[in-house]
Amino acid sequence: MIARHSAPLALASGMLLLVLAAGPSARAVSFIRGDVDQNGAIELTDPVRILMYLFLDGTSVPGCLDAADVDDSGTIDLSDAVYSLNFLFLGGPLPPLPHPECGVDPTDDALDCREFSGDVCPAAPPSGSLISYKGCKDFPDIGGVPPDQACIQYVYESGVLHLTHVNAGFNCCPDALVAEIIFDEGAITIREAEIGGVCFCCCLYDMEVEIVDLAAMEYTVRIGEPYLREPDEPFELTIDLAEQPEGRFCLPRTQYPWGVY
């Protein structure tokens, strides 16, 4: 197999950008509507918290504004406290979902749920997927990171990690690139692979994965690269998302299909 620039059977030309799925834009926090003080039940203390928030100069801002939007109108006002009192003492209707079980807000509104007690509503486990890849890149002028390097760059915000592997090496014309993302305690392993691929040719791609519901803490990130050859070192890096929510790491790539043609 030879590198793409001299491959007689190279079929692809130009750049292919494949967007696999549209991911969520923010971490979805699970909560119970109406449980403003986050103790697992709607009681008198909850409408009292709403009234304090509304009429005491914005003090006691609820950690989960969606929980205080008891009628799910998209705003927090007196009607939410009234709704709770009506439910508690006058046999009024149940609050809209999520209630009484934990869940995410089914309504798209301007309110957010920054945090909710993990004892009441345990956080969802993280999950990840490959959301896009682009390539093949034309040798030798691939633009950006040169072909004798590969890089991992990431951005973390609101529980969502976007991680891009720049210059991932694969066959020139696989049916698809895929990535399996595995979580184990404080480790994230991203196993990259290709499906199909019949060209006598390899080239470089950029692969972007998105991981949601990821807590802001330290992780060891490992990338499984099927074309990696010694002495090139595999990516195994430690990232602390609480301390450094974005970063970039690069390693030399000297073996085919990177720097040797």
By CB under 5 A, residue 80 contacts Ca ion = yes
Q: Is 242 exposed, middle or buried (0-12, 13-18, 19+ CB in 10 A)?
A: exposed
Stretch in the footprint of Ca ion (CB under 5 A) among 72-80, 115-123, 188-196, 236-244: 72-80
By CB under 5 A, residue 192 contacts Ca ion = no
Give the footprint of Ca ion on residues 9-38 (CB under 5 A): 35, 37
* Three-state DSSP state, 7: coil
- Least distance from C-beta 51 to Ca ion, angstroms? 13
Handedness of CA 39, 45, 51, 57 (dihedral sign): negative
Is 82 or 251 the residue whose CB approaches Ca ion more closely?
A: 82
Contact 139, 159 (CB under 8 A): no
Which residue's Cβ lies closest to Ca ion? 73
Q: Determine if residue 71 is left, alpha or beta; phi over 0 gives left, psi from -120 to 50 gives alpha, anything else beta.
A: alpha
By CB under 5 A, residue 71 contacts Ca ion = yes
By CB under 5 A, residue 69 contacts Ca ion = yes
| # residues contacting Ca ion (CB under 5 A) | 8
Q: Look at the block and give the residue holding tokens 């989960």.
A: 64
Is 69 or 208 the residue whose CB approaches Ca ion more closely?
A: 69
List CB contacts of 146: < 8 A, sequence separation 6 or more. none
By CB under 5 A, residue 189 contacts Ca ion = no
Stretch in the footprint of Ca ion (CB under 5 A) among 40-48, 96-104, 176-184, 237-245: 40-48
Is 35 or 208 the residue whose CB approaches Ca ion more closely?
A: 35
Stretch in the footprint of Ca ion (CB under 5 A) among 77-85, 195-203, 234-242, 251-259: 77-85
**Cα–Cα dist 163/209, whole Å:** 5
Report the DSSP pairing between strands 16-19 and 127-135: antiparallel
- Residues lying near Ca ion in the complex (CB under 5 A): 35, 37, 39, 46, 69, 71, 73, 80
